[in-house]
A and B are shown apart, each in its own frame.
Chain A
């Protein structure tokens, strides 16, 4: 009897001690955060991650780059926040600026990468939702794109900013008189059965080449080479030719890999909305600037006192 009581007491005591833990366990079964890392399209349907891709690819089809493509090294690899992929703003990748080019770049107060400016001082036109323009659309936030080939032109539809470019393939030449355009005037030709070469001119000087304010003149010419390696892989090379600002052409992208997505991939909306940008600028930039001013003032007052 004594023993039984003791056993019951221990059981009761144990249940008191462990009950909260058991109850908590019932309501809280945490998932490993790594397991939450999926890749989904705009329809919120799972898409294979880079580690889940098939290993063997079929040969590339002839003269065909159509389909939906994403950066091959991960869906976020084309963000290029710190500048064009091949020339990141890290203090180690100098560009061949002319004196005018360097002067123009120093007027661009960019918000990311080495030597970036405080948010309140940033004068990036995209901060106010100006069109991101070309070639920046390839060099900043390059996410899913869909390429559509028709007999006379090829369209590139971009997730970022929900814009498209028309690349004419009907044999026309560039217009004689051009008004500058955010996305310029593009003509495409097949260099061989697997390499589509696009030239673009007539670009608006107000756009930046990339997210770190690399500048260009109205005479900028951009060459893109879309080289389809096999059925699933394509490499994009993008060359900047602007002799007034750069002493020689430079490759902002050099065989940058893109992989084919399924036909059913829904491209998400990713739109720069002015009202949303305003919230962002107010909540983050202005608040931070106000606090910084106050901090500077306090420091100044303190210095005065110490004198």
Chain B
């Protein structure tokens, strides 16, 4: 298996796992709906802030227009446990993001489940050992509605 095939397989596995990933929320989830979208774009800002880290990304839409996406992540104190730092991304870098939720309103705002770094490394924001029981319940609560 060459590296391309390997990465395709990996991405496919990761994408299928995303369906089971817990939502990460403590500052409002009513504005989002569960939706997985993969977007490629150029980083314009990486804001290492509380309550949640924000990523701004310029993405070309089908018509060739630039759309300014804002990706919401989780608190820096969560992110560090998944290998992220304040310096993980820099403006100008080309990356891929995978959303877990997007704004119901249609605004280009999303919660992110995965970030694929310029070197191809896949980064995630929820895992096996974090004890994130409540986020799982959030997911179920959203499903009820």
**Does A243 touch B at the CB level, under 8 Å?**
no
Task: Flag if A77 contacts B131 (CB, 8 Å).
Answer: yes
**A: interface residue count bin:** 35 or more
Whether B138 lies near A113 (C-beta < 8 A) is yes
Nearest CB to that of B2 among chain A residues?
A21
* Contact string against B for A residues 151-194, beta-carbon threshold 8 Å, 1 for contact and 0 otherwise: 00000000100000000000000000000000000000000000
A287 and B47 alpha carbons, distance in the complex (Å): 17
B130 close to A295 (CB less than 8 A): no
Nearest-Cβ distance from residue A4 to partner chain B, whole angstroms: 27
- Structural contact, A279 and B31, CB atoms closer than 8 A: no
Q: Report the number of A-B residue pairs with Cβ-Cβ less than 8 Å.
A: 194
B15 in the interface (beta carbon within 8 A): no
A18-B2, A283-B54 as given contacts; A30 in contact with B131, CB under 8 Å = no
Supposing A30-B10, A33-B123, A37-B81 touch, asked if A91 and B141 sit within 8 A by C-beta, the answer is yes
Residue in contact with A75 in the complex, picked from B50, B124, B130, CB distance below 8 Å: B130
**Cβ B145 vs Cβ A114 within 8 A:** yes
The interface size of chain B toward A, counting residues with CB under 8 Å, comes to 58
Q: Chain B 77-97, CB within 8 Å of chain A: the 1/0 string?
A: 110111100000000000000
The answer to whether B129 touches A119 (Cβ under 8 A) is no
Interface residues of chain A, those whose CB is within 8 Å of chain B, are 18, 21, 24-25, 27-28, 30-31, 33-34, 36-40, 44, 49-51, 71, 73-77, 79-82, 85, 88-91, 111-114, 116-120, 122, 127, 140-141, 143, 159, 211, 268, 270-273, 276-277, 279-280, 283-285, 287-292, 294-295
